Amino acid sequence: MSSNATFLTPQAVLFDAYGTLFDVYSVASLAEQLFPGQGQALSVLWRDKQIEYTRLVTTSNDGAHYQPFSALTRAGLRYACKKFGLDLNAEREEQLMNQYRHLSAFPENKEVLRALKARGLVTGILSNGDPDMLGVAVRSAGLEGLLDHVLSVDGLRKYKTDPAAYALGPQATGLKPAQILFVSCNAWDALAATWYGYQTLWVNRYNLPFEELGTQPTRTGSSLRDVLRAFPN
C-alpha cells in the first residue's frame, strides 16, 4: 500500500457501493449466457454508460433531467445492447436488471466491516444507488447490522462527483470530512472525494493508473483489507 499524505486515524469509514463493495462486472456471467461472446464487453460498456449518464443528468440544466440510478442503469443496458446489436427483449432486460440488483459482493466485505465495528468505528455506504437498489444489495450480501449508515444521493437529485453528494457523509456522521475515510474502487470517485476533503483510500483492484489531474488519494491499496491498515491494532 502506498501513502501520499499525512494520515490521521479516522473516526468513520464510508464505502462507495458499486464497484467497491459490489462487483459491477459480475453481471458478465449472466450476460455471457444470454449473449455468448459478448458478456464481458457488455458489462464494461453498461457500466461506462451508467456513470456517463449520472454525470449528464447532474450537470445539465441544474439537474432538471435527473432520473434515479435504477433508471440510468436500465438506460445504460439498453444503450450497450444497441451498440453491440444484441436482441434485448423484455425478458432478458429484466433478467439482467435483477442480476444487477443482486450483484456479487467482494469476499472480504464482511471480514473488514466486522473488524471496523470491533474497533468501535462508524461505518456506512455513500452511493449513487437509489435506496431500493442499495437495500436489496445490502440484504443480498448479508451486510445488515454491519453498516451504521446507507446514504443515497437520490434525495439530492445530484450524483457524485457533485460536492453535495459527498457532503452527505459529514451530515450523517456529525464529523468533519478529514475525520472520515472514504473508500472507493473507482479512481474518479476517490479523486473527487479527496478534493472534497475526505481522507481517501483508492482500492485499485485492477492494477490501473490513477487519474492524471495532479491529486493523489491519501492511500492506495488492492483490496478492502487495506482499510484496516489505517487503524492501530
Q: Which residues are catalytic?
A: 16
C-alpha cell at 96: 439482467
Strand 149-152 vs strand 180-184: parallel, antiparallel, or unpaired? unpaired
Q: Is 97 helix (H, G, I), strand (E, B) or coil?
A: helix
Q: CB-based contacts of 3: which residues, under 8 Å, 6+ apart?
A: 218, 219
Strand 199-203 vs strand 122-127: parallel, antiparallel, or unpaired? unpaired
What residues does 152 pair with on adjacent strands?
127
Single-letter code of the amino acid located at 226? D
